[in-house]
Protein backbone atom coordinates (compact mmCIF):
# COMPACT_ATOMS: atom_id res chain seq x y z
CA UNK A 1 0.00 0.00 0.00
CA UNK A 2 1.24 3.47 -0.85
CA UNK A 3 1.82 5.93 1.94
CA UNK A 4 1.11 9.59 2.40
CA UNK A 5 4.23 11.69 1.86
CA UNK A 6 4.51 15.23 3.24
CA UNK A 7 6.64 17.75 1.32
CA UNK A 8 7.13 21.49 1.35
CA UNK A 9 5.14 23.40 -1.25
CA UNK A 10 6.72 24.24 -4.57
CA UNK A 11 5.14 26.43 -7.23
CA UNK A 12 4.80 23.58 -9.72
CA UNK A 13 1.90 22.29 -7.58
CA UNK A 14 0.01 25.60 -7.47
CA UNK A 15 -2.89 24.58 -9.74
CA UNK A 16 -3.31 21.23 -7.94
CA UNK A 17 -3.47 23.05 -4.60
CA UNK A 18 -6.00 25.60 -5.84
CA UNK A 19 -8.20 22.89 -7.37
CA UNK A 20 -8.12 20.78 -4.18
CA UNK A 21 -8.97 23.68 -1.88
CA UNK A 22 -11.72 25.14 -4.08
CA UNK A 23 -13.33 21.71 -4.56
CA UNK A 24 -13.52 21.20 -0.80
CA UNK A 25 -14.71 24.74 -0.05
CA UNK A 26 -17.24 25.10 -2.84
CA UNK A 27 -18.47 21.62 -3.70
CA UNK A 28 -18.22 19.76 -0.41
CA UNK A 29 -19.11 22.54 2.04
CA UNK A 30 -20.93 25.06 -0.19
CA UNK A 31 -18.75 27.91 1.05
CA UNK A 32 -19.22 30.90 -1.29
CA UNK A 33 -15.52 31.63 -1.82
CA UNK A 34 -13.62 31.93 -5.09
CA UNK A 35 -10.05 31.78 -6.32
CA UNK A 36 -10.10 35.57 -6.52
CA UNK A 37 -11.08 35.75 -2.83
CA UNK A 38 -7.85 33.86 -2.01
CA UNK A 39 -4.93 35.63 -3.74
CA UNK A 40 -2.61 33.86 -1.29
CA UNK A 41 -3.06 30.61 -3.23
CA UNK A 42 -1.40 32.13 -6.29
CA UNK A 43 1.50 33.53 -4.25
CA UNK A 44 2.29 30.94 -1.56
CA UNK A 45 5.95 31.98 -1.34
CA UNK A 46 5.12 35.52 -0.23
CA UNK A 47 2.03 34.74 1.86
CA UNK A 48 3.21 31.61 3.66
CA UNK A 49 6.88 30.86 3.03
CA UNK A 50 8.20 34.10 4.47
CA UNK A 51 9.64 34.77 7.91
CA UNK A 52 9.43 31.44 9.71
CA UNK A 53 6.25 30.40 7.92
CA UNK A 54 5.83 27.50 5.52
CA UNK A 55 3.31 25.51 3.45
CA UNK A 56 3.17 21.72 3.11
CA UNK A 57 1.46 19.27 0.81
CA UNK A 58 0.36 15.70 1.38
CA UNK A 59 0.88 13.41 -1.59
CA UNK A 60 -0.56 10.01 -2.33
CA UNK A 61 0.73 8.34 -5.48
CA UNK A 62 2.14 11.73 -6.61
CA UNK A 63 -1.30 13.37 -6.28
CA UNK A 64 -1.87 16.33 -3.91
CA UNK A 65 -4.42 15.13 -1.35
CA UNK A 66 -3.88 17.63 1.46
CA UNK A 67 -2.48 21.02 2.45
CA UNK A 68 -1.52 22.94 5.58
CA UNK A 69 0.35 26.16 6.21
CA UNK A 70 1.84 28.16 9.04
CA UNK A 71 1.90 31.94 8.81
CA UNK A 72 4.53 33.71 10.91
CA UNK A 73 2.54 36.50 12.61
CA UNK A 74 5.42 37.66 14.80
CA UNK A 75 6.02 37.47 18.54
CA UNK A 76 6.76 33.70 18.28
CA UNK A 77 3.15 33.17 17.18
CA UNK A 78 1.79 31.47 14.10
CA UNK A 79 -1.51 31.07 12.31
CA UNK A 80 -2.47 27.66 10.97
CA UNK A 81 -4.09 28.20 7.60
CA UNK A 82 -5.27 26.27 4.56
CA UNK A 83 -5.67 22.87 6.20
CA UNK A 84 -7.58 20.83 3.67
CA UNK A 85 -7.66 17.09 3.06
CA UNK A 86 -9.42 15.39 0.16
CA UNK A 87 -12.41 13.44 1.54
CA UNK A 88 -11.10 10.00 0.52
CA UNK A 89 -7.90 10.62 2.51
CA UNK A 90 -9.47 11.71 5.80
CA UNK A 91 -9.63 9.51 8.87
CA UNK A 92 -7.47 6.80 10.33
CA UNK A 93 -6.88 4.82 7.13
CA UNK A 94 -4.40 7.43 5.90
CA UNK A 95 -3.97 9.83 8.87
CA UNK A 96 -3.32 12.61 6.36
CA UNK A 97 -4.47 15.44 8.61
CA UNK A 98 -2.43 14.14 11.55
CA UNK A 99 0.68 13.82 9.36
CA UNK A 100 0.25 17.38 8.08
CA UNK A 101 -0.31 18.75 11.58
CA UNK A 102 2.69 16.85 12.95
CA UNK A 103 4.87 18.37 10.22
CA UNK A 104 3.60 21.85 11.10
CA UNK A 105 4.24 21.33 14.84
CA UNK A 106 7.75 19.99 14.20
CA UNK A 107 8.56 23.03 12.07
CA UNK A 108 6.97 25.42 14.58
CA UNK A 109 8.99 24.03 17.48
CA UNK A 110 12.23 24.10 15.46
CA UNK A 111 11.54 27.77 14.66
CA UNK A 112 10.66 28.73 18.25
CA UNK A 113 6.95 29.34 17.89
CA UNK A 114 5.16 29.44 21.24
CA UNK A 115 1.52 29.62 20.13
CA UNK A 116 -0.47 28.54 17.10
CA UNK A 117 -3.85 30.14 16.31
CA UNK A 118 -6.44 29.22 13.70
CA UNK A 119 -9.79 30.28 12.38
CA UNK A 120 -12.40 28.05 10.79
CA UNK A 121 -16.09 28.09 9.92
CA UNK A 122 -18.98 26.61 11.84
CA UNK A 123 -19.59 24.22 8.91
CA UNK A 124 -16.35 22.26 9.39
CA UNK A 125 -17.59 20.10 12.29
CA UNK A 126 -15.11 17.28 11.79
CA UNK A 127 -12.32 19.87 11.76
CA UNK A 128 -13.49 21.20 15.13
CA UNK A 129 -13.23 17.71 16.62
CA UNK A 130 -9.82 17.18 15.03
CA UNK A 131 -8.40 20.44 16.39
CA UNK A 132 -9.81 19.82 19.86
CA UNK A 133 -8.41 16.28 19.87
CA UNK A 134 -5.02 17.79 19.04
CA UNK A 135 -5.00 20.11 22.06
CA UNK A 136 -6.34 23.27 20.46
CA UNK A 137 -8.58 25.25 22.81
CA UNK A 138 -11.49 27.28 21.53
CA UNK A 139 -11.06 31.01 22.11
CA UNK A 140 -13.02 34.17 21.43
CA UNK A 141 -12.20 36.31 18.42
CA UNK A 142 -11.39 39.19 20.75
CA UNK A 143 -8.45 37.27 22.27
CA UNK A 144 -6.63 36.75 18.96
CA UNK A 145 -3.34 38.60 18.43
CA UNK A 146 -3.70 41.85 16.48
CA UNK A 147 -1.49 40.35 13.75
CA UNK A 148 -3.79 37.34 13.17
CA UNK A 149 -4.73 37.13 9.46
CA UNK A 150 -8.53 37.14 9.46
CA UNK A 151 -10.49 35.39 6.72
CA UNK A 152 -13.98 36.76 6.17
CA UNK A 153 -15.67 33.35 6.43
CA UNK A 154 -14.04 32.34 9.74
CA UNK A 155 -16.32 32.42 12.77
CA UNK A 156 -14.67 29.98 15.16
CA UNK A 157 -11.16 30.36 16.58
CA UNK A 158 -8.64 28.13 18.36
CA UNK A 159 -5.27 28.39 20.07
CA UNK A 160 -2.62 25.84 20.97
CA UNK A 161 0.40 26.52 23.10
CA UNK A 162 3.58 24.70 22.16
CA UNK A 163 5.64 23.31 24.99
Per the CB < 8 A criterion, the answer to whether 89 and 58 are in contact is yes
**From 3.40.630.30, 3.90.1150.10, 3.40.50.720, 3.40.640.10, which CATH number describes the 5-115 domain?**
3.40.630.30
- pLDDT tens figures, 96-138: 999 999 999 999 999 999 999 999 988 888 899 999 999 999 9
Q: What integer best gives the mean pLDDT of the chain?
A: 95
CA 46, 67, 25, 154: dihedral to nearest 10 degrees? Answer: -60
- What does DSSP say about strands 115-120 and 77-85: parallel, antiparallel, or unpaired? parallel
Nearest-CA neighbor of 113 among 56, 72, 80, 144? 72
Per the CB < 8 A criterion, the answer to whether 158 and 134 are in contact is no
- pLDDT tens figures, 38-93: 999 999 999 999 999 999 999 999 999 999 999 999 999 999 999 999 999 999 99
pLDDT for residue 125: 87
Question: Going by C-beta distance under 8 Å and a sequence separation of 6 or more, which residues neighbour residue 1?
Answer: none
Per the CB < 8 A criterion, the answer to whether 128 and 156 are in contact is yes
For the segment 15-21, the average pLDDT, to the nearest whole number, is 97
Nearest-CA neighbor of 143 among 126, 119, 110, 114? 119
pLDDT for residue 39: 93
Residue 9: count of CB within 10 angstroms of its CB = 21
Cα(150)–Cα(96) distance, rounded to whole angstroms? Answer: 25
pLDDT for residue 124: 84
Cα(163)–Cα(147) distance, rounded to whole angstroms? Answer: 22
What pLDDT band is residue 1 in, cutting at 50, 70 and 90?
Answer: low
Amino acid sequence: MKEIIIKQYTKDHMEDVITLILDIQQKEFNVPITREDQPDLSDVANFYQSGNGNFWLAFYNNQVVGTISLVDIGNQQGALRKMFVKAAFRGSNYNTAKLLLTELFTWAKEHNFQEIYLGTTEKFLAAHRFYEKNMFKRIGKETLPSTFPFVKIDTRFYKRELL
